[in-house]
Structure 1
Amino acid sequence: MTTTSPAATKAGDLRTGVQRFGTFLSGMIMPNIAAFIAWGFITMLFIPAGFFGAETPFPGWHWAPVAEIIGGGGDSAVIGWQGAMTALAEGDGGNIFAYVGLVGPMVTYLLPLLIANTAGRMVYGERGGVVATIATMGVIVGTNIPMFLGAMIMGPLAAWITKQMDRLWDGKIRPGFEMLVNNFSAGILGMILAILGFFAFGPVMLGISAVLGAAVDWLVSLSLLPIVSIIVEPAKVLFLNNAINHGVFTPLGIEQAAENGKSILFLIEANPGPGLGLLLAFTFFGVGAAKASAPGAAIIQFFGGIHEIYFPYALSKPTTILALIAGGAAGVTTNMILGGGLAFPAAPGSIIAVTAAAIGSGVGNLLVVYLSVVVAAAVTFLITGVILRASRKSDLAAEGDTFGAAIAQTEANKGKSSAAMDALRASSGSAANAAAPAAVATDRRIENVVFACDAGMGSSAMGASVLRNRFKKAGVDGITVTNQAIANLDGTADLVITQQQLTDRAKAQSPNSIHVSVDNFMNSPKYEEVVEMVREQRGTEA
């Protein structure tokens, strides 16, 4: 009989709690990354030092005097859209961006309000999102700075308060008055929270932002920023990085980028160099399944930006985490000394996304960023190579599928499987890729199939695409196959497909649906069983 100590249980609970917190934070940020990228491109194109700015590094590219784009300076707040249309009619269309002042309003209002709305929806649906947006507007106006931390706190809080308020009169409203009560109660609560945010919550968040900003400035002034890698790199391997990256680095980085045009904070966690160096070292010095799968993993990590694919390699040889720390610190040091940074978050952490976010600050900045990636990769590669060479004999003599166990441990740390881990199983031939038990037959007619995962994107979207193609090849029509987050399951799905670690959560969210668990979203034997089940229901011949 296996027992678990109370200390181990508490540590696991703490890790799970931090992981959920990180997942919640990333859930607020990730759906809005496209807006961050749009703002970043507008910034790097039209600020004075941008491609089309007054100080453009490319002679002859200057479009218009667009200095006011950084925040609506001068007469832009007065001229607005009417002035912009007049400018366009008079042939001065290049000044439209200056008149409207895109950069300032976007970073001050649009981005925080998008975060607040997303957070509110995560807590209490559309109603929570509306109240969260209203409340956060009060915080923004009360501080008049990009209030990302305020949005990430006020948004969920306002939605939670709305949820508790609705419980007070749940089932007590007379028929016909539901819309009246719901609209007025949300409006009044939103007004109260916006006023509180303006006078009370906003100043508090302003103080917190100032303290965090001062802490970062202090680390930079003392050249201590690289020591952050001691926290970040192990946290990545344990899937605890989201709480740090999206909770601190992204909000502070956006504020720095709005002021300086770029920020080093966007590269502390997203730098693909350490992961690339680790995987290259396993390619040359590893053994067995890890060595065989490392080249493909390196391509996915470096160009696709899926950093989690190198986590099993680090877990299979925990001492290599020291190499990741050293490589991460080396990359941060390079950017700190030479002034490298990104104009907006690189999401995912692909060299392609890093390039797009770095090039706006000039070719010199891009070269510095590239150098930081190369230095980080080289340092990690050298240290990992030494570690692997020193333990090569014992690794070759070891018995059992240690790399497969590391993949399983990675999924346990994350709390779910993913397409990246499935790809590692397939490429390494790991025993962890064993087929799952057969699906349970049912008499319920299947018309609506949903792939569900934590975020409702990524691996579940790929799985849905695979099953659609299976249905198409089998000649089965009339089946809707979609993907969504588990939290958004509403019980209407006839069949819900999840990875094994998430099935219990999916059953609790949609108890009346048929549930099928798979190990591999990309290539599961369960798909053929589902297709055959539907064919039999429809009377379709093979």
Structure 2
Amino acid sequence: MENTQINTKKSSSFQARFQKIGGYLSRMVIPNIGAFIAFGLITAIFLETGWYPNETIIKLKDPLLKSLLPILIGYSGGELVYGKRGAVAGALATFGLTIGSDVAMFLGAMIVGPFGGWIIKKFDQAIDGKVREGFEMIVDNFSLGIIGGIFCILSFLFVEPIMAGITNALASGVVWVMEHKLLPLSAIFIEPARVLFLNNVIDHGILAPIGLEQVASQGFSPLFMIIPNPGIGLGILLAYWFFGKGEMKEAVPGAVIIHFFGGIHEIFFPYVLANPLLILADIAGGIAAIITMQITNYGPVYTPSPGSIISVLALTPRGKYLGAILTVGVSCLVTFLVASIFVKKYYRGYVENSPGSNTDGLVRGFNNIENNGTIDGQIKKIIVACDAGMGSSAMSASSLKKKLKEAGYNIEVVHTALQNIPNDADIVVTHKELTNLAMKAKPEKYHMSISSYINPPEFADVVNVVRENNDKDMKVSSSEKITSYEPSKENKTPNSASNEVLKLDNIVITDDIKNRDEALRLINKHFVDGGYTTEKYLEAMVKKEKEFNTNIGNGLAIPHGTFEYKDEILKTGLVILVCKNGVSWNDEDVKLIIGIAGKGDEHLEILSKLATEFETQEKVDEFIALNNKTKMKNILESVEN
């Protein structure tokens, strides 16, 4: 057991270091994606085989490829290490690589750029406090010029030949693999690395530089499509849509739009990580895509970034659109067929038989991490971080901000890269695969993990932490906030039925309800008759079901309204429907329905408590078997205690 733990720690440490390197390389490339897209479009349009060939304009291609793009990467690498001074040093060092080189020095730029920034940083640290007052600017300018100039010369004389040799060797290796029809086998290694969030470093750091050499000779390269192909992720998501259950299934439509049209592939990674056997579907789709490209002789003119179907088509050479569509379509179909096998098996076995699991198939609890950081006082700023700080974290930050606003908290939520987490952050939220890296970057901060970038269930944990910290010092009267399922403590008497959260009459045991809509109408009738809501609250519950199904598994549904209809709630109330024969609810069988009308943000607290009380199918069945309204009422009112 001890050896297993040691090996696990070593593996986790290696993965963390590898991801850190990958994230660092990504942050050199991603800020310059616009320049890469400009290069791709100029090539696609004005190349000899492009849409509108132009011998004059296409002269921009080589300077863009061999000078501007590497220098931008070197500049960004130096800036990451030491701000603007590091950026200038990195650009000068990279410029030396580009002079006289016949290949695009992307790999070299990723090395000498940060190194140039590091050297100037060390020099500044060495002379700190030793420069006579009034001479600081002169020393700064001349030191940067001298050190940067030296690195520029050294890069030109020594580093460039070495990097050219490495790049040519890699290019020759890829050519050999392609000539021997072995390129499809690369998916065996690339696809697992991709879902571990190394997609950017593989795409831009390894495949793109070699692919650019192919573009120079043949006008396109299939290497550009290995990572950005949106068909593979689409196949995974569709398998969950057809055969999954719970929150992961319900999140698929939004994920498909974000992935396929937005090009943010990180959205499907958690679906694979939740069921590791799906990596086989990932690999199968990757192999199918590469074989299709070989058959159709297809490849884009540069890496589609972001990897959306729109970017793929925009960077496809004239006359090769059929190849693009077949590559995406075939890889999607193959991935879907293989993934369907494992998704169906997963939900028949693990989810249904694993107590304490979420309906989305992910075991909650990884937020019980060894957190060195603490939260002092009110939470004012939450950071959502990912490796690059762009698409994935931006999307999650927006979603979390909405969740907090619905809960009544106007808190700043910002997205950023792992290495740029600000010092004024109160909570740092990251994907569970990146939490260790975030904790190393900012060990003093309070860290929380999410299992997915789209609507993760762990956002409820974040809201609860905010509530615990921001509300603990607030003095709120019972008339303003009810924190129990039973009457407020000030009015908890037999004669206070008008303020009672759960009336005995609002517990209905019936087998007459056949579907969800009938259940919602009955719940709303009890709410209206009891003075809990207006009649319009029915619209709120119906709208909530369209946005997110409230059947949460275990035969339980917890319908409630959307935030926009909060004014239709007059006071907090519950309505319980017990249907022993079951009710059809979004293609699932539901036997216990708990309607909620929560004043303010009370419905969130109630939802949390009910989810805990009925976390297993056995608990739901035991509650239904009581068949006694009084006993049911007593159990629900004792949940808080």
- For the aligned pair, the TM-score class normalised by the smaller chain equals 0.7 to 0.9
Tell me if structure 1 keeps the 8 A contact 2:222–2:299. Answer: yes
Q: Per the alignment, do residues 442 and 195 of structure 1 end up closer, same or farther by CA in structure 2, a change over 3 Å counting?
A: same
- 2:391 equivalent among 451, 458, 465: 458
Deviation for aligned residue 1:182? 1.5
What amino acid does structure 2 have at the position aligned with 1:260?
Q
Q: Corresponding residue for 1:415? A: none
Tell me if structure 1 keeps the 8 A contact 2:42–2:58. Answer: no
- 1:280 equivalent among 222, 234, 238: 238
Tell me if structure 2 keeps the 8 A contact 1:316–1:403. Answer: no
What amino acid does structure 2 have at the position aligned with 1:373?
V
Q: Corresponding residue for 2:40? A: 40
| d(CA) in 1 for partners of 2:386, 2:116 | 26
Q: Does 1:369 align with 2:324?
A: yes
Q: Corresponding residue for 2:50? A: 50
142-151 vs 461-470, which deviates more?
Answer: 461-470
What amino acid does structure 1 have at the position aligned with 2:127?
W
Deviation for aligned residue 1:381? 1.7
Q: For 1:111-130, what aligned pairs fall within 5 Å after superposition?
A: 111-130=69-88
Q: For 1:370-449, what aligned pairs fall within 5 Å after superposition?
A: 370-389=325-344, 393-395=348-350, 397-400=352-355, 440=375, 442=377
Give CA deviations for 1:445-497 in whole Å, capped at 9, x if unaligned: x7x987665434335545666798899999999x9876544534675x4x554
Report the structure, 1 or 2, having the larger strand content.
Answer: 2
Alignment RMSD:
4.0
Deviation for aligned residue 1:126? 0.9
Deviation for aligned residue 1:527? 6.4
Give CA deviations for 1:19-41 in whole Å, capped at 9, x if unaligned: 11111111111111111111111
Deviation for aligned residue 1:318? 2.4
> Normalising by structure 2, what TM-score?
0.63
| d(CA) in 1 for partners of 2:284, 2:437 | 38
Q: Corresponding residue for 1:94? A: none
| d(CA) in 2 for partners of 1:440, 1:150 | 43
Deviation for aligned residue 1:70? 3.2
211-220 vs 166-175, which deviates more?
Answer: 166-175
Tell me if structure 2 keeps the 8 A contact 1:266–1:346. Answer: yes
| d(CA) in 1 for partners of 2:265, 2:320 | 23
Tell me if structure 1 keeps the 8 A contact 2:264–2:391. Answer: no
Tell me if structure 2 keeps the 8 A contact 1:463–1:522. Answer: no
Q: Corresponding residue for 2:278? A: 320
Give CA deviations for 1:208-266 in whole Å, capped at 9, x if unaligned: 11001101111110111101000011112223344322220122223323443221111
What amino acid does structure 2 have at the position aligned with 1:498?
V
Q: Corresponding residue for 1:233? A: 191
Q: Does 1:177 align with 2:148?
A: no
1:247 is paired with a residue whose SS is helix
Deviation for aligned residue 1:396? 6.0
Tell me if structure 2 keeps the 8 A contact 1:313–1:406. Answer: no
Deviation for aligned residue 1:302? 2.0
Q: Corresponding residue for 2:6? A: 6
1:344 is paired with a residue whose SS is coil
Deviation for aligned residue 1:432? 7.8
169-178 vs 25-34, which deviates more?
Answer: 169-178
Tell me if structure 2 keeps the 8 A contact 1:457–1:485. Answer: yes
| d(CA) in 1 for partners of 2:348, 2:23 | 39
Q: Does 1:340 align with 2:295?
A: no
Q: Does 1:162 align with 2:120?
A: yes
What amino acid does structure 2 have at the position aligned with 1:458?
G
Q: Corresponding residue for 1:487? A: 419
- 1:249 equivalent among 207, 214, 237: 207
Q: Per the alignment, do residues 68 and 211 of structure 1 end up closer, same or farther by CA in structure 2, a change over 3 Å counting?
A: farther
User: How many residues end up aligned between the 2 structures?
Assistant: 464
Q: Corresponding residue for 2:220? A: 262
Tell me if structure 2 keeps the 8 A contact 1:226–1:329. Answer: yes
Deviation for aligned residue 1:133? 0.3
What amino acid does structure 2 have at the position aligned with 1:67?
E
| d(CA) in 2 for partners of 1:11, 1:219 | 30
137-146 vs 254-263, which deviates more?
Answer: 254-263
Q: For 1:69-80, what aligned pairs fall within 5 Å after superposition?
A: 69-71=57-59
Q: Which has the higher contact order (CA 8 A, sep 6+)?
A: 1
Give CA deviations for 1:286-338 in whole Å, capped at 9, x if unaligned: 34554444444333322222222323332333222212111110101111221
1:70 is paired with a residue whose SS is helix
Q: Per the alignment, do residues 481 and 324 of structure 1 end up closer, same or farther by CA in structure 2, a change over 3 Å counting?
A: closer
| d(CA) in 2 for partners of 1:282, 1:36 | 34
Tell me if structure 1 keeps the 8 A contact 2:245–2:360. Answer: no
| d(CA) in 1 for partners of 2:243, 2:274 | 14
> Normalising by structure 1, what TM-score?
0.74
What amino acid does structure 2 have at the position aligned with 1:487?
Q
Give CA deviations for 1:33-74 in whole Å, capped at 9, x if unaligned: 111111111121222222221xxxxxxxxxxxx224333xxx
Tell me if structure 1 keeps the 8 A contact 2:232–2:331. Answer: yes
Q: Per the alignment, do residues 344 and 530 of structure 1 end up closer, same or farther by CA in structure 2, a change over 3 Å counting?
A: farther
| d(CA) in 1 for partners of 2:102, 2:243 | 54
| d(CA) in 1 for partners of 2:132, 2:468 | 49
Q: Corresponding residue for 1:498? A: 428
Q: Does 1:28 align with 2:28?
A: yes
What amino acid does structure 2 have at the position aligned with 1:213?
A
Q: Per the alignment, do residues 201 and 324 of structure 1 end up closer, same or farther by CA in structure 2, a change over 3 Å counting?
A: same
Q: Corresponding residue for 2:165? A: 207
Deviation for aligned residue 1:105? 1.5
| d(CA) in 1 for partners of 2:211, 2:65 | 12
Q: Per the alignment, do residues 222 and 254 of structure 1 end up closer, same or farther by CA in structure 2, a change over 3 Å counting?
A: same
Q: Per the alignment, do residues 503 and 272 of structure 1 end up closer, same or farther by CA in structure 2, a change over 3 Å counting?
A: closer
Q: Does 1:141 align with 2:111?
A: no
250-259 vs 24-33, which deviates more?
Answer: 250-259
What amino acid does structure 2 have at the position aligned with 1:125?
G
Q: Does 1:67 align with 2:22?
A: no
| d(CA) in 1 for partners of 2:311, 2:117 | 33
| d(CA) in 1 for partners of 2:408, 2:336 | 50
What amino acid does structure 2 have at the position aligned with 1:70?
I
Higher Rg: 2
Tell me if structure 1 keeps the 8 A contact 2:16–2:436. Answer: no
Q: Corresponding residue for 2:560? A: none
271-280 vs 397-406, which deviates more?
Answer: 397-406
Q: Corresponding residue for 1:418? A: none
Deviation for aligned residue 1:431? 8.1
Give CA deviations for 1:348-378 in whole Å, capped at 9, x if unaligned: 22212212221xx11x312101101111111
What amino acid does structure 2 have at the position aligned with 1:179?
M
Q: Corresponding residue for 2:500? A: none
267-276 vs 140-149, which deviates more?
Answer: 140-149
Q: For 1:516-527, what aligned pairs fall within 5 Å after superposition?
A: 524-525=462-463
2:65 is paired with a residue whose SS is helix
1:125 is paired with a residue whose SS is helix
Q: Structure 1 vs Structure 2: percent identity of aligned residues? A: 42
385-394 vs 221-230, which deviates more?
Answer: 385-394
| d(CA) in 1 for partners of 2:211, 2:382 | 40
| d(CA) in 1 for partners of 2:235, 2:378 | 52
